[in-house]
């Protein structure tokens, strides 16, 4: 009997894991089970170039079906709704059974939903997958006033795209700055300024009391009694790991599926990777959960190696980006554990970076600049933090000095 | 091939080792690199989105795009890491009397 490897969830981590298993194991059966009837595709363009009509569906797929066929990777469109870890089986609603020897869980994350009047649930749109992106694109085509609830990365990217489609956008954020506290206030303010310059209204520090619908217009009542009239509402209020399926099982859960540095879960032969996993990171000596493109790719690859028996530790330095208007924001490492903050640059045309250090070692950094201006320095920062290099903060803060100087060869 | 296809970029000391410069010629833009074993040239714009690679990081034989960390091999132009998946065009380079020339077709 051949070894059966099942990958549950057919997103980015899944496809990288599947191909990596195949690289190291030519024998086993590999099957990806996916709720979405689409080959694995990139999500970042959904809130950006896809909405802007600069990319179409065909541009989003990681690989064609030929690549999967050539590598003998099965892809099946099916929703799994029960797991039996003891007997190593997965079930669908109709009791179709899938047996595995090794299982990778890469079910990603799902959007948090607003808890408002139930009658309006279908009137509020969310963005996570291609279907939803298509719906939003179609529905907004004849609308002019659009409101985004939530000023996080995805909400702001949608706001940027829709504004470029020449529509009036209002963003309502409950916190006192955009993109949450992890982003330095100075950078959040620069992003806010850019949105406002492009005509978007940004409302901070306000809670939604009520949404009501009159004819085809929605009225959003805020806690200061102000009223916003809008034709279409999109909410981007954060996400949670997709773990409902495992809630009454022995699988250890804590803000996602708890894994070690080898992508192994608390159950033998069960692995987890990507958005769904809360993994132990050896560099930070604690568990972290990330929702990022680079992580889904590299974590998937690492899981693939471990499943194929090539024991590999995962220690990539976290990195993610967000593109809004002509700005590119990048975040590396962890930015919530520091004793010193150093600023480099003060102008988005050349890039602005905030470094977070502990004991003179960079733990993380956040940069913002017009396209391309912060990438190199952020990348160098990742390398420095990966090697725990003690850095000269004078060089960090002096824009005229190249950061390559800090890399010890 | 005729001589005039070779376009002068500048002097060899205008590029530090493991670094690059941007070179614009007519309506085209290029990156010219100095690696440990010589000079190389590629198209200037990333194949993923319209971002110039001049702000990217040169590491060994690779250029990493500053926008989304797509990676290309500088010598072959091969796209090595997503989101970049389309190869980068490369151009022949020669050095004559401490001057760098690239051949544009
Ligand atoms: C709109 C948007 C924009 C983004 N922009 C950026 C960006 O600019 N930069 C960045 O770094 N990151 C960005 N991200 C994040 C990045 O795309 C994700 O971190 C990445 O896709 C995670 O990969 P994954 O494989 O863990 O999960 P996913 O790609 O989400 O795949 C999970 C899959 O599992 C399926 N699934 C779940 N449960 C089941 C089940 N029971 N049975 C079968 N299938 C199931 C889901 O339907 C889904 O297809 C963005 C995400 C979104 C949604
Ligand atoms: S623009 Fe170069 S990788 Fe995206």
Enclosing domain of residue A205: 113-235
Q: What share of chain B is helix, strand, coil (3-state, %, to 5)?
A: 10, 50, 40
Q: State the Cα–Cα distance between residues A11 and A303, nearest whole angstrom.
A: 14
Mean pLDDT score, A204-223:
95
- Are both A122 and A195 inside the same structural domain? yes
Pick among B69, B72, B81, B86 to test the A interface (most A CBs inside 10 A): B69
Distance A267 CA to ligand 2 centre (A): 38
Pick among B29, B66, B72, B85 to test the A interface (most A CBs inside 10 A): B66
- Are both A98 and A131 inside the same structural domain? no
Domain count, chain A: 3
> In angstroms, how far is CA A15 from the centroid of its own chain?
16
Residue A298 lies inside a defined structural domain of this protein: yes
- Are both A296 and A361 inside the same structural domain? no
Residue A369 lies inside a defined structural domain of this protein: yes
Q: Calculate how close chain B gets to A43, using CA atoms only, in Å.
A: 11
CB contact under 8 A, B66 and A374: yes
Please give the CATH topology (third level) of the domain spanning B3-103.
Answer: Rieske Iron-sulfur Protein (2.102.10)
Bridge partners of A362? A357
Considering just the CA atoms, what is the radius of gyration of chain B in Å?
13
Mean pLDDT score, A109-128:
92
pLDDT per position as a tens digit, A152-176: 999 999 999 999 999 999 999 999 9
Residue B1, pLDDT above cutoff 60: no
Q: Which of A214, A235, A256 is the C-terminal boundary of a domain?
A: A235
Residue A214 lies inside a defined structural domain of this protein: yes
| Long-range pairs for A157-160: beta carbons < 8 A, 24 or more residues apart | A157/A47, A157/A48, A157/A322, A157/A323, A157/A324, A158/A47, A158/A51, A158/A127, A158/A234, A158/A236, A159/A195, A159/A200, A159/A324, A160/A48, A160/A195, A160/A198, A160/A200, A160/A323, A160/A324, A160/A325
Residue A49 lies inside a defined structural domain of this protein: no
pLDDT band at residue B4 under the 50/70/90 scheme? low
The closest residue, in CA terms, to atom 35 on ligand 1 is A9
First and final C-alpha spacing in chain B: 10
Domain ranges (residues) in chain B: 3-103
The closest residue, in CA terms, to atom 29 on ligand 1 is A11
Mean pLDDT score, A124-144:
97
- Are both A118 and A224 inside the same structural domain? yes
- Are both A229 and A249 inside the same structural domain? no
Q: Which of A189, A219, A235 is the C-terminal boundary of a domain?
A: A235
Contacts of A44 in chain B (CB under 8 A): 83
- Are both A94 and A187 inside the same structural domain? no
Residue % of chain A over a pLDDT of 70: 100
Residue A53 lies inside a defined structural domain of this protein: no
DSSP state of B55: G
Residue % of chain A over a pLDDT of 90: 94
Predicted local confidence at residue A6, as pLDDT: 98
Q: Which of A273, A307, A341 is the C-terminal boundary of a domain?
A: A307
**The pair of three-digit structure tokens given for residue A19, joined into one six-digit string:** 């191909």
**The pair of three-digit structure tokens given for residue A249, joined into one six-digit string:** 């099982």
pLDDT band at residue A409 under the 50/70/90 scheme? low
CATH classification at residue A351:
3.30.390.30
Closest CA to A364 of A345, A348, A340: A340
Predicted local confidence at residue B3, as pLDDT: 59
- Are both A106 and A244 inside the same structural domain? yes
Mean pLDDT score, A131-150:
97
In this structure, the number of other CB atoms found within 10 A of the CB of residue A389 comes to 15
CB contact under 8 A, B66 and A376: yes
Predicted local confidence at residue B2, as pLDDT: 53
CB distance A165 to A52 below 8 Å: yes
CB contact under 8 A, B64 and A379: yes
- Are both A294 and A194 inside the same structural domain? no
- Are both A136 and A222 inside the same structural domain? yes
Higher pLDDT, B85 or A9: A9
Predicted local confidence at residue A324, as pLDDT: 97
Handedness of CA A227, A233, A236, A240 (dihedral sign): positive
Q: State the Cα–Cα distance between residues A59 and A46, nearest whole angstrom.
A: 11
Mean pLDDT score, A90-115:
96
> In angstroms, how far is CA A404 from the centroid of its own chain?
29
Predicted local confidence at residue A179, as pLDDT: 96
Q: State the Cα–Cα distance between residues A386 and A262, nearest whole angstrom.
A: 18
CATH classification at residue A277:
3.50.50.60
Residue of A49, A319, A375 lying closest to B66 (CB–CB): A375
């Amino acid at each position: 009997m051949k070894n059966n490897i099942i990958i549950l969830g057919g997103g980015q981590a899944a496809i990288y894991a599947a191909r990596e298993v195949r690289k190291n194991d030519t024998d086993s059966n590999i099957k990806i089970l996916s709720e979405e009837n689409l080959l694995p595709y990139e999500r970042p363009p959904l809130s950006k170039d896809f909405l802007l009509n600069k990319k179409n569906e065909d541009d989003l797929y990681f690989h064609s079906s030929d690549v999967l066929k050539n590598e003998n990777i099965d892809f099946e469109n099916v929703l799994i709704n029960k797991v039996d870890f003891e007997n190593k089986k997965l079930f669908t609603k109709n009791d179709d059974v899938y047996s595995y020897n090794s299982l990778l869980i890469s079910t990603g994350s799902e959007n948090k939903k607003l808890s408002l009047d139930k009658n309006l649930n279908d009137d509020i749109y969310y963005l996570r997958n291609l279907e939803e992106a298509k719906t939003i694109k179609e529905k907004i085509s004849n609308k002019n006033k659009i409101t985004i609830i939530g000023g996080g990365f995805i909400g702001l990217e949608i706001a940027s795209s829709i504004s470029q489609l020449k529509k009036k956008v209002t963003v309502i954020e409950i916190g006192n700055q955009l993109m949450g506290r992890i982003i330095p206030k100075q950078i959040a303010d620069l992003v806010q300024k850019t949105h406002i310059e492009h005509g978007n209204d940004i409302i901070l520090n306000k809670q939604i009391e009520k949404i009501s619908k009159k004819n085809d217009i929605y009225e959003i009542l805020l806690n200061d009694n102000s009223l916003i009239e809008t034709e279409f509402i999109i909410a981007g209020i954060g996400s949670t790991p997709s773990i409902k399926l495992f809630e009454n099982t022995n699988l250890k859960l804590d803000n996602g599926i708890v894994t070690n540095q080898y992508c192994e879960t608390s159950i033998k032969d069960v692995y987890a990777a990507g958005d769904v996993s809360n993994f132990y990171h050896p560099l930070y000596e604690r568990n972290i959960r990330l929702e990022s493109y680079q992580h889904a790719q590299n974590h998937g690859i690492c899981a693939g190696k471990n499943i194929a028996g090539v024991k590999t530790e995962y220690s990539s330095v976290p990195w993610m980006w967000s593109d809004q208007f002509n700005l590119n924001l990048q975040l590396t490492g962890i930015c919530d554990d520091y004793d010193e903050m150093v600023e480099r640059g003060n102008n988005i045309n050349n890039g602005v970076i905030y470094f977070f250090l502990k004991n003179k070692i960079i733990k993380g950094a956040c940069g913002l600049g017009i396209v391309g201006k912060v990438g190199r320095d952020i990348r160098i920062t990742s390398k420095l933090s990966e090697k725990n290099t003690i850095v000269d903060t004078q060089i960090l803060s002096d824009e005229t000095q190249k950061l390559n100087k800090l890399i010890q060869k | 091939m005729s001589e005039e296809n070779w376009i002068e970029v500048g002097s060899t000391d205008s590029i530090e080792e493991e670094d690059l410069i941007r070179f614009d010629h007519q309506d085209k833009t290029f990156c010219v690199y100095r690696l440990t074993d010589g000079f190389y040239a590629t198209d200037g714009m990333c194949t993923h989105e319209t971002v110039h690679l001049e702000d990217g990081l040169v590491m060994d034989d690779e250029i990493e795009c500053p926008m989304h960390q797509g990676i290309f091999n500088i010598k072959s132009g091969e796209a090595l890491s997503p989101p970049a998946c389309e190869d980068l065009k490369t151009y022949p380079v020669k050095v004559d009397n401490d001057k760098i020339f690239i051949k544009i077709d």
